Structure 1
């Protein structure tokens, strides 16, 4: 079912990504920190929510410093096929990261339709951009399908046209269904939407929320209990927690996640990533 390798960074990681060959019924994931993941399937690569700089600290100062360096730099990612962003917060739709990758002639950027005007302000051309809305499905190169679903971060938020500003995505890789939630809390409609998608891999945040962070303007996410319960209710084969470890002041101890899942759902498969680690999932 799974093969795990020692993690890498920089040039070694770039070589590992390029050299990873997979059968159709397998995909590889690399964890890049926060909610950043690189996914490879059938020679196609997708970057989800890449935050590969220290731009949040450069804009806001303490306490927004990274706990670890990014395993990849933006310039390492000029060969990716797609960059998919869930919403416009700087640690998910990072202007510095995206503007470097924009130099690539092959990369297309998929963002909530509500954020297309912002990307155009940043200098992106129409032909580089793909806007997507809640409930929409799009076909990507290589036989990949991407479905978008609204997320609550902690509430639904829409623009004047009714376009949701926070999205999660189900990527279908020839029958392997990967859900990247973006930033969200749990809510009943989400369970209903995902139960019909036969999710194999669920990537869900665990950093949670509380009034202290709310007072600081930090919008919250699922806590570890919610993430586990969502995965169980949608019958996900594998649960991967995310959005922890990078910013100590907006964090959760992942040991609580492990303890909860072992106590209550010991048969639920999960994987904890080290930064830059490769993980191969085979259906």
Structure 2
């Protein structure tokens, strides 16, 4: 029978290689047709058809993807990687300038402050994939049960890869709370194709979107790319977000390569020292493939230094198996990078689902 131990070894190897390739396609945007289609004027990062990283690298080709997935060496992951923190049960609201941050998992955070409840890249689905039967599967449950979420006022979506833009979760949030959903240019098409009733605010780099009294989200340029299928690569934009008026300011980087530090220098120049940086530290091996799109922990530490932020939380690790490094290696490499840099380890934590950070403001 197919997949049994009686299969010839070459057949089993081919089957495993094909499975590995299919498992990588969803988050890399090479699996299905259709997706976001943006039309607008030419700019310094849009050629009239596709967006690009000014002065930077584009996404890897499908041939390079195949080379990685069929020939790479993956470190083992356990079936489950439970968090040491119990599931969080957040309060309904956090008033004033205090900030409460709860880590849900992967790139999903609940940010509470100024009376607002804000989610970043919310994913409550079991897989980061367009399919229910293949693709990266959760190694731990969300750090907040969906039913324990307080009323959500705003949702920030950084780009369209399946581990960041989860249309099922967005639809659940929309049906329940009618939050303001903010995304870079083009992603309204993807979200509304799933549910035409959902209202989406799209914006360009450097645009500011008000979220509530005294709080706005500013879309910032980072070095990445996006796709939902083979034919829509970079037909929509990607971004990080600076949240002004929330605590002492928060930078959520979404996904980004280090890009010689330029994303972090830009944010520091435009916004000054911020209270909190949320930075990705995982999905970085092999470096020949991942370097343009995902930082490793040493680069994240250098980005934190360039930002001049007071505190950082590392995410994008330990929940979905996307790349070749082992489940715990991002946290281990982060500890080594902090030691080499001389930074106090408590200033940059590798977040685990259910973990909560509460901070007061400078003034």
TM range (shorter): 0.7 to 0.9
1:90-239 matches, cutoff 5 A: 90-125=162-197, 128-153=199-224, 165-173=237-245, 176-187=248-259, 188-196=261-269, 197=271, 198-211=273-286, 214=289, 220-239=293-312
Change (3 A) 1:223 1:137: same
SS in 2 for 1:139: strand
- Residues 40 and 48 (structure 1), Cα distance of their counterparts in 2 relative to 1, 3 Å cut: same
2:342 corresponds, among 254, 265, 269, to 265
Which of 261-270 and 111-120 deviates more? 261-270
Matching residue within 319, 340, 362 for 1:246: 319
Q: Which runs of 5+ in 2 are unaligned?
A: 1-83
TM-score, length of structure 1 as denominator length: 0.82
- 2:29 aligns with none
The answer to whether residue 116 in structure 2 is matched with residue 38 in structure 1 is no
Contact 2:97 2:114 in 1 (8 A): no
Give aligned pairs, total.
266
Q: 1:75 to 1:224 in 2, by over 3 A?
A: same
Give 2:357's aligned residue. 279
Higher strand residue share:
1
C-alpha contact (below 8 Å) 2:240/2:251 kept by paired residues: yes
Residue deviations 1:133-171, cap 9 Å, x none? 111112221311111112212x589x99x9862110000
1:31 Cα deviation from its structure 2 partner: 0.3
CA distance in 2, matches of 1:123, 1:239: 35
Check the 8 A contact 2:219/2:240 in 1, yes or no: yes
The runs of 5 or more residues in structure 1 that have no matched partner are 1-5
Structure with greater Cα Rg: 2
1:79-119 C-alpha deviation (Å, 9 max, x unpaired): 10011110011111101111111103441111112211112
* TM norm structure 2: 0.65
Structure 1 residue 221, shift from structure 2 partner: 0.7
